[in-house]
Structure 1
Amino acid sequence: MKWMIGTALALVSVQASAQETQQPQIVVSATGIAKTAPDMVTIAYNVRGEGTTSDAAVKDLREKAKAIENGARSVAGAKSEFFASGMSVMQIRPKECESNVYPRETLSQGPCAVVGYIATIPVKVDTANVDAGGTLIGLVSRLGGMRANISRFWLRDDSNVRAQAMQSAIADARKQAELIAKGTGVRLGNILKVQDSDYRNIEVLARGSNQLQYDPAPPPVSTPAPVSVDLNPSPIETRARIVVSFAVLQP
């Protein structure tokens, strides 16, 4: 029993000693924000093909998609990227065979026989010609694209702006820590540790970025120029949330 008490006292002594030697700290959380004009825009639209057979509908879809892409590249730029990651083909039956409550099975012959097919694909376009986003929507709609819209504005490389947001967060953290140190009568020392919002240790790096700019090709001479639309997208807001530990120096 005496041995157990002695061991417990020794453990308490070690813990107390560790607490006494731990360096006093001021720990604050901060957020930095950097705003940058977007250098990329993504537009989205659907292409639809129709035919009395599925093959005819798919061929119609293919030709329309090709014509829209060729026309859109005249504004988006030769290096713009087109993506089509899905496709559907639907059977079309007479209107009187439609059910507004539950879909029902019908015979392939008779009054509810298939009368045609509709094939559709969703398309997305990434282009660096941000100023022409609205113009591109109008041109795609003219060429037969359906539900054309601007999906998002974004940055091709946000590493530089993230570094700016991080520097802003560190400056905010230091300002908070200085106010606390002044109010408690201590001096603020160097930064001991920087962590992200998940308490992972991080290092602030400033990296340069090469922004790609593409000049749009002129529109085809044989077709009228697309209607110009001027847009003013909001800046891209990049946030950095950190937790910073500062050393406390005795006055």
Structure 2
Amino acid sequence: MKIFAVLAALTLPLALVACGGGDDVTNVSVQPPGTPSGINVDGEGIVTIEPDLATLNLGVEVRAASADEALVLANGAFDNLSQVLTDQGVAEEDIQTTGISIQPEYNFDGDPPTIIGFIASNTVNVMVRDLDSTGDVIDGVTSAAGDATRINQITFEREDDAEAISQARDLAVEDARQKAESLADGAGIALGDLVSITDVSFSEPPPTPFNLEAAASSAGDDGRVATPVSPGTLEVRVSVAAVYDIAD
């Protein structure tokens, strides 16, 4: 008489164990409910694109004895900066304020600390659509605002990457199929129809930062250089998960 026992574990498939009169034991794996049957594969597609948009985070920062004086000086420096942006062909809708601040500056040597002045700043994001003019924009705003200039970051991106995403998705699907065919060939079975496919993840290329400190370190004795700007390239990645039938 054969005795059947079902062994269960939280992290393992159910196992059906058949015990006979001898020493032979047969283990039969049972897939958990909902597990897709067939050949399960993933695929990835990568497309390299060139950026066509630079975003500068820049502004002005000044110090003065009073808050009112600091604000007046900051507004004047920012007006000069804004005029350069206009002269460089930057559209008004491509300039967005990201921060305006007036804060006291303290001397912490005493107890209690004393206010010794005020710091006023005005920061904006500027989209430069003509990448060739990015260096000129940086040089222009620095000359216009002088020591009040603050250039915090520059990043590069692709404004319309829909075509690149579509291409990467096609490559990911093809990659998944090739993997499924390879597995089927290796196992000596025939690949069946595609049962399901899921877009697992889409990785939009993050803005590529530019090292402003490296550019500044190449300045001459007068501190003035033609700012070098290298947009580089971006990668669009798409991943898919696919399930194929095993043909009869």
Residue 55 of structure 1 pairs with residue 68 of structure 2 = yes
More strand by share: 2
Amino acid across the alignment from 1:47: V
2:112 corresponds to which residue?
105
Amino acid across the alignment from 1:233: P
Give the TM-score normalised by structure 1: 0.66
Give the TM-score normalised by structure 2: 0.67
| SS of match in other structure, 1:143 | helix
1:127 corresponds to which residue?
128
Conservation of the 8 A alpha-carbon contact between 1:23 and 1:247? no
Amino acid across the alignment from 1:179: S
**Compared with structure 1, are the counterparts of its residues 170 and 120 closer, same or farther at alpha carbon in structure 2 (3 Å cutoff)?**
same
The whole-number CA distance in structure 2 between the counterparts of 1:83 and 1:91 is: 25
Displacement over 6 Å in runs of 4+: none
2:52 corresponds to which residue?
39
Residue segments in structure 1 that go unaligned for 5+ positions in a row: 1-18, 107-111, 203-225
- Cα RMSD, aligned residues only: 3.2
Amino acid across the alignment from 2:112: E
1:223 corresponds to which residue?
none
Query: Once the two structures are aligned, what percentage of the paired residues are identical?
Result: 23
The whole-number CA distance in structure 2 between the counterparts of 1:67 and 1:23 is: 64
The whole-number CA distance in structure 1 between the counterparts of 2:111 and 2:82 is: 38
Number of equivalenced pairs: 195
Residue 189 of structure 1 pairs with residue 192 of structure 2 = yes
The whole-number CA distance in structure 1 between the counterparts of 2:82 and 2:97 is: 11
**Compared with structure 1, are the counterparts of its residues 193 and 127 closer, same or farther at alpha carbon in structure 2 (3 Å cutoff)?**
same
2:41 corresponds to which residue?
28
1:237 corresponds to which residue?
235
Larger RCO, structures 1/2 (Cα 8 Å, 6+ apart): 1
Residue segments in structure 2 that go unaligned for 5+ positions in a row: 1-31, 203-223
Residue 138 of structure 1 pairs with residue 148 of structure 2 = no
Q: CA deviation at 1:47?
A: 0.6
Show CA shifts across 1:182-211 (max 9, x none). Answer: 11222223322111337xxx9xxxxxxxxx
